[in-house]
Amino acid sequence: MRPVLTRRRFVAGSAAALAALGSRRGAHARGGVVTKRTRLVMLATGGGPRPRTERGNTAHALVVDNVLYLVDCGSGVARQLVLAGIPLPTLRHIFITHHHSDHNLDYGNVIMQAWVSGLRTRVDAWGPPPLEKMTRLYFEMNAYDIDTRIADEGRVPLVPLVHAHELSQAGPVMQDERVKVTATLVDHPPVVPALAFRFDCPDRSIVFSGDTNKSDALARLATGADLLVHEALWVAAVDRLVARVPNAATLKKHIIDSHTSVEDAARVAAAAGVKTLVLSHLVPADDPAITEQMWIDAARPHFKGEIIVARDGMAL
Ligand SMILES: [Zn+2]
């Protein structure tokens, strides 16, 4: 006779199984629901500045104990956060890897949109020069709206909340009670400096390559990390990609010289000894001839760990 599994027992059993799984992964139980302290959300996973119907311009969210650390701010990042269910006022830190518009176009906008959504607390922004000037000029450009909302809607002054910090070299970036952030310089000509960031969180370590060609410095930064979020280029498709634009020859040279093939991204993951390689900032971002399985198959011979092809909104 089959044992009767009541819903109550099933739920209790499931919770126990999840708790066991959670403790193995360093997660913890809160009110009977197992949660990871650190959640990575792949907000937008395409490379390149064109707006697209799928794979938005680069942005990644790290949520640690419900505090938002944002890595890059491609166009549409605030909307991607809303779609992911991440409250905008939880924004605490922003990290910009480099000043290409597909990584920074909504840097000021996401702060403004967090503010109009109720942000009243400090935001620190970290990235290469001229981040301080960009921050100042953004607020200058939007002074009319900001001042109007303070006077008319009773909002707190925005400018004093935001503190920009310029980074030009490898080393420690910041540390608080939840994360320790370290940067290294990567090679993304002609954009200098270009940065990769490592986040050592309570239960996981996560590294973001930023944009780079194959980088030994990145492999060193990522040594032993749980997740490496690495940009990936499908070299054979570059001709099709650049054929859409009049500056094809120079664009092709930039793409090849300053990005990492999917095969080399896997080699960097192997050299670093990471557990999981997450392919993001995919170039091309929207070529239907290149399937997710093809990205994985290209990486697989060079890396034995878990390989994930990121999609917009994917939580890891
Ligand atoms: Zn770039």
Q: Model confidence over 228-253: pLDDT tens digits?
A: 999 999 988 888 878 878 888 888 88
Distance between Cα 77 and ligand 1 center (Å): 17
CA distance 234 to 263: 9
Q: How many Cα atoms are found within 13 Å in the side-chain-facing hemisphere of 61?
A: 30
The tens digit of pLDDT for each residue in 178-202 reads 999 999 999 999 999 999 999 999 9
Question: Which residue blocks in 84-224 are alpha helix, DSSP H?
Answer: 101-104, 107-116, 131-141, 143-153, 216-221
Instruction: Work out the pLDDT band at 206, boundaries 50, 70, 90.
Output: very high
Give residue 256 CA to ligand 1 midpoint distance, Å. Answer: 12
The Cα 22–Cα 81 span in angstroms is 25
CA of 210 to the centre of ligand 1 (A): 8
**How far is ligand 1, taken at its centre, from the CA of residue 272, in Å?**
22
- Put the strands of the sheet holding 67-71 in their side by side order: 162-166, 123-127, 91-95, 67-71, 59-64, 38-44, 314-315
> Where do the domains of the chain lie?
7-315
| CATH architecture assigned to 7-315 | 4-Layer Sandwich (3.60)
Share of the chain above pLDDT 90, in %: 79
pTM: 0.87
**Distance from Cα 220 to the centre of ligand 1, integer Å:** 21
Q: What pLDDT digit, counting tens, does each position of 165-175 carry?
A: 999 999 999 99
Assign 264 a pLDDT band (cuts: 50, 70, 90). very high
Q: How far apart (Å, rounded) are the C-alpha atoms in residues 204 and 226?
A: 6
Please check the confidence at residue 67 and state whether its pLDDT lies above 90: yes
Going from the Cα of 103 to the center of ligand 1, the distance in angstroms, rounded, reads 7
- Residue 5 reports pLDDT greater than 90: no
Place of tokens 């993001």: 280
